[in-house]
Amino acid sequence: MREFDVQYWLGLGWLTGPIFGKELRVSSRRRRHYVIRSLYVSLLVVIMSFVWVGAMRYDQMSAYQSGELAEVGRIVTMLVTWSQFLLCQVVAGVMLSTAISDEIYNKTLGVLMTTPISGLQIVAGKLLSKLLQCILLVGVSLPILATVRVFGGIPWAYVLSSVCITLSMSVWVGSLSLFFSISQRKAYVVIIQTIVALGMLFALIPFLVFWFLDQFLRIQEQKWLPLFLISNPYAMMAFATQWLMSPRAMTSSVVKYWPWHCAILLAGSGLLLSWCTVRVRKVALRQIAGNTDAVKLPSHKTMRATQGRRSWLLRHMGNWPVLWKDLRTPVLGGKTRFRRILNWCIIAGTLILVYVAIGVEGGFSQRDMHAVMSCLYTILAALLTIVITATPITSEKEARSWPILLGTAQTDWRILASKWLAMFRWSLPVWGLLFGHLAVFTLCGFIHPAVLILMLPVALGVINLLLGTGLYWSARMRRTTTAVVCNFTVPLMLWAVIPVVWVMMVEISRMSDNGLEVYMSWNPFFQAGSVVDGCARRGGLLKFYLIGGTQNVWETLQLVWQGCCVYSVIGFGFAWRAMQLFRRRIF
């Protein structure tokens, strides 16, 4: 018996439990995990091929090619480590977005707590089983990193530090997503909350803290830089990469601080998982007692107060009940009015602090600041729009209401139009930060009013494209999590993969880059930065740099509307295809 106990404790069975084994068996049978690994390997092969062909040209001397091997090895290593660093975070955050909420709303969490399985085993089993996919992705890239080291110039310390930082950050992102999944049923809400939390923890809060230390306490950068490296994984990876590309720079900082950084991330993840264990137990006890909090009936007073307003809405919507229902269901925000107000207060307070810091530095009169902020707001709005627009049909499938909806008198076209209009309405608030920034500084005289007219087609084209792709993947997939992940594919192909591949082909073949300039001029993020940069000029005529030269307002307006029309046509095509799948993929 004693030998069995030793084997039990050494095998970590007390931590994982049967939940871990069950999740492993389920995960091994899911097609999407094989697809993710296949796409990742294909991406690595493409990266290595382009870098190798670009560096090892046949018309070069063999001695020169031998000298280029070390540089090729460093570039490939940098691209592989950053790819796995970012991809593992996405995989961990998305896969754990429904880890606990599925058990809560399927009424199985209370049953699990009546078994010998503890709350710690439930939480740890869910986390470790999903993180195994991240470990497999890292394991796939390790042979490539080991092979590239033969070229020279790549220290093992960088490979080890990048792998440890990637795994520790994946644990932290997964723990954060699992924590939010306890209180949120919808996967996309958990993903949005995780993105916002990461942005605040590793971008906004460090910016405000170190700005305060520099402006008011007059602490030099050399003193707070170690704290910044220890607390920020993105900064640690950036400094480690700089050390790889320039071995003489900051060697001691990277080698000295990355173990402490990983230890802090793992300790924070442990504390967060402990809190998750306590919350899971409380939720399970409430579920056993019969209080699921899944459906809360309104009081008679509330029903009497809203009866007239709701009946007026029903009469106003007429033959559009699906649109009425989707407009009445909030996509973002808390479950109660107090939580929604609290969320908006936190966002407003954070923005005020950021703009105060920028104003103290005199950044309001700098056009580069407005261009950078506009690009950041556009990227954030596009990310949130991708998540929101991939949910309208999969949420119906998960609630088992999609077959009922198809059995009503509503036509496919009316259902599609209702979903499109509802998601369009819920996508508008996430673009409020961009247009709010432009409107405020236009009134203050820092930006020309033409920026609002020029930015409108940019935002409209992105929304229409993402609405179409979101409806397509939502109609094709059964789960919201899968639809959200797939909805990233089209934007990534249009705005990241194709430009990168095109640039590599231009460098390899030495062909003209005129077509690339035209294609990049339709990139919405490039358009946002160029439009705001041109409108933030003081005095003289407005000039915009988009297609290898300067354009006036009329030429720029024509260009952004062309991009809007192209993206809208692509979005409408995806939406039409989604309508064809309504009655083919019902369950």
Cβ atoms of 129 and 27 within 8 Å: the answer is yes
Coil, strand or helix: which one is 293? coil
Residue with tokens 């030429």: 555
Amino acid 226: pLDDT: 72
C-alpha distances in angstroms, 21 versus 124, 132, 137, 145? Answer: 12, 12, 20, 31
| Tokens encoding 524 | 């919405």
Amino acid 572: pLDDT: 94
| Tokens encoding 313 | 């809405």
| Tokens encoding 34 | 């094989």
Amino acid 135: pLDDT: 86
Residue with tokens 């030495």: 510
CA angle 399, 480, 269 (to 5 degrees): 115
The four Cα atoms 359, 362, 368, 372 give a dihedral, to 10 degrees, of -20
Cβ atoms of 257 and 225 within 8 Å: the answer is no
Q: Please report, for the chain, how many H helices and E strands are present, in that order.
A: 28, 2
The dihedrals phi and psi of 489, each to the nearest 5 degrees, come to -70, -50
CB atoms within 10 A of CB 57: 12
Question: DSSP letters of 489-549?
Answer: HHHHIIIIIHHHHHHHHHHHH----HHHHHHHHT-HHHHHHHHHHHHT--SS---EE-SSS
Length of the chain, in residues = 587
Cβ atoms of 158 and 73 within 8 Å: the answer is no
Q: Exposed e or buried b for every residue in 234-243, given b needs 16+ CB within 10 A? A: ebbbebbbeb
Mean pLDDT split into 10-residue runs, the chain, 587 residues: 53 69 74 78 76 59 57 80 87 84 77 77 84 84 77 76 90 91 80 84 78 68 70 84 68 69 90 88 76 45 45 52 78 59 72 76 77 87 88 84 86 90 87 88 85 91 94 88 84 84 71 74 86 72 68 84 92 93 80
Q: Which residue in 430, 423, 503 sits closest to 464, CA to CA?
A: 423
Cβ atoms of 548 and 517 within 8 Å: the answer is yes
User: How far is 298 from 290, CA to CA, in rounded Å?
Assistant: 18
User: How far is 169 from 67, CA to CA, in rounded Å?
Assistant: 35
> Per residue, what are the HEC states of 142-178?
HHHHHHHHHHCCCCHHHHHHHHHHHHHHHHHHHHHHH
Amino acid 205: pLDDT: 78
| Tokens encoding 376 | 């950041």
Q: What is the pTM of this model?
A: 0.77
Residue with tokens 């492993």: 24
Cβ atoms of 478 and 397 within 8 Å: the answer is yes
